[in-house]
Amino acid sequence: MSGTGITDVVRAEFDACLAGADEDGALGLAVGLVASGLSAEEVLLGLVAPAQVTVGEKWASGEWTVAREHAATHVSRRTVDAVAAAARGTARTPAGAGSQGHVLVACSDGEWHVLPSHILAEVLRLRGFHVRSLGGDVSPYGLLSDVHQNGPDLVALSCTLPWNLPRAHRQIETCRSAGVPVMAGGPGFGPEGMWAYPLGADLYAADARRAAEALLSRWPPELRGESSVQAGAVEAYAMLVRQHPGLLEHSVCALRDGFPGLRGRSGVEHEEDAEFVGRLLDSLAAAVFMDDERVFTGQLAFAAGFLTARSVDPGCLREIVDALAGRLSESPRALEKLSAGRRWLAEQGEDLRRQG
């Protein structure tokens, strides 16, 4: 995103504001860019969005605590509001283009990463769309009720985590059955949104700018999507969801047996371990639902990096995968994904040995 008028110096300065949770500094800088003639869209997509990716990376690498990451994110959100307000004040927005359109922006249930949908909502508003935003973790009832009450022309659904894909699927079905087309967006839908169309989304956009352009070039959006999720996959997924508590307990026990050092940890730490294993289970279930092992191996890759950054032996992932395979011998679909996970871990292990 070079050549947009946002220099590396500006970028570094903004990153420093986020790192120090310096709201005044961040707002002053971003609003100053708009005042100096940069479009709000450029500031949102060229400065705030990439800075927020860095924030996520700092958390994943263990450099930042959750608290620090949230403090930085709060500053990003305030910046988005301030930039949008400043742009409306200058009235340089391309007027009228999408003025007929009514878009509802929502995150599926279980999705708390609100910032991308927040940026999308503001970018669409700046392009002239009438936008309502429901924020994070929207229940299917809440979404359906809003669709019936307010009659949007389109629902823009954000999903940043692939383990939420089965829930995103339910939201897509809910909207489409009410006659409202759905545009999917966010890294949860996979590289190039490869999981968006199989879930029945009518449109996919990689970022807010492309979302706005796709809608402006073809309005009103039409119901075109069709879910290709297989009934067998849904049944196997449902079984994993039902067995979740038992599987979780079993894998956490296996993890402690394999890594006795974990036994002496406090109650809170035990819960954190359980949550970590729970995410792997959710990802396995989502991989079964999508019938795509990459949903699972992708989460293993993230987990391996996360553990390594915290000086924990990623070999414990193998322990968890084996424990799950021992309990899921009745489910060929789950076993298939676990085998893929095991292969992926073995390849990673070899890579590490070769490097070592």
Partner 1 sequence: MTEDGDSGQAPVQTPVLPGELLDLVDEAVVMCDRADGTVRGFNRAAARLFPRLRLGEPVSASAAEPLARAAARGAEQFDTVHEGRRLDGRRQSAGGNTVWLVREVGSAQQAEAALLGERDRSAFLEETARRLGASLHHGRTVRTLVQIAVPKLADASVVVLPASGRRTVWHRAGPGDDRSSGEVTVESLEQVPKVADALHGLQPRPAVVRPQEMDALDPVIAGELIPGETGGALVVQLTAGGVPAGALILLRGPARARFDEADIELAHQFAVRAGLALATAALYSQQAHTIAVLQASMAPEPLPEVEGLRLGAAYRPAAEALHISGDFYHVAPSSEDGITFFFGDVSGKGAEAAVLAGHVRQSLRTLAMTTTAPEPLRDLRLLNDVVISDGSSFTTIVTGSARARGDGSVTVEIANGGHLPPLVLRSDGRVEEVHCEGTIVGAVRDPDFSSTEFRLRPGELMLLYSDGVTEARGGASGREMYGDERLADALAGCFGMQAASIAERVELLTTQWLAGRPHDDISVLTLQAPPRRGSAPLRQHHAPGAPGAAQDPESR
Site for partner 1 in 78-137 (CB under 8 A): 109-110, 112-113, 115-116, 136-137
Site residue total, partner 1 (CB under 8 A): 71
User: Which member of 148, 210, 224, 242 binds partner 1 (CB under 8 A)?
Assistant: 148
Q: Which of residues 206-245 bind partner 1 (CB under 8 A)?
A: 245
Taking every pair of Cα atoms in the chain, the longest distance, rounded to a whole number of angstroms, is 64
Burial class (CB in 10 A: 0-12, 13-18, 19+), 91: exposed
How far apart CA 114 and CA 137 sit, in angstroms, is 9
Q: Which is nearer to partner 1, 177 or 339 (CB)?
A: 177
Spatial strand order of the sheet with 130-133 comes to 130-133, 102-107, 154-158, 182-185, 203-204
- Identify which range of 3-11, 55-63, 230-238, 325-333 contacts partner 1 by CB under 8 A: 55-63
Whole-number minimum distance, CB 107 to partner 1, in Å? 12
Residue (66 or 91) nearer to partner 1, CB: 66
Q: How far apart are CA 149 and CA 295, in angstroms?
A: 35
Minimal distance in Å, beta carbon 354 to partner 1?
25
Residue linked to tokens 């449109």 = 203
Among the listed ranges 9-17, 54-62, 122-130, 286-294, the one in contact with partner 1 (CB under 8 A) is 54-62
Count of other CB atoms within 10 angstroms of residue 96: 9
Distances (CA, A) of 309 to 185, 186, 305, 317: 29, 25, 6, 14
> In which residue are the tokens 């690498």 written?
61
DSSP state of 108: P
The encoded tokens of residue 86 equal 């400043």
Q: Nearest approach, Cβ of 92 to partner 1 (angstroms)? A: 26
Q: Figure out which of the listed residues 9, 91, 231, 268 binds partner 1, where binding follows CB under 8 A.
A: 268
Local structure of 123: helix, strand or coil: helix
Least distance in Å: CB of 117 to partner 1?
A: 12
Between 178 and 197, how does the x/- string for binding to partner 1 read (CB under 8 A)? xxx------x----------
Footprint of partner 1 on residues 307-336 (CB under 8 A)?
307, 310-312, 316
Select from 49-57, 84-92, 194-202, 335-343 the region that touches partner 1 (CB under 8 A).
49-57
Pick the stretch among 87-95, 195-203, 231-239, 271-279 that binds partner 1 (CB under 8 A).
271-279
Smallest distance from partner 1 to CB 71, Å? 5
Answer yes or no: are the C-beta atoms of 276 and 267 closer than 8 Å: no
List, in order, residues 6 or more apart from 7 with CB less than 8 Å away.
Answer: none
Piece of 82-90, 174-182, 225-233, 326-334 that binds partner 1 (CB under 8 A): 174-182
- Reported as type and span, the H/E element at residue 181 is none
Region 15-34 residues binding partner 1, contact defined as CB under 8 A = 20-23
**Taking the CB of residue 70, how many other CB atoms lie within 10 A of it?**
14
258 binds partner 1 (CB under 8 A): no
In the complex with partner 1, the residue whose CB is nearer, 94 or 191, is 191
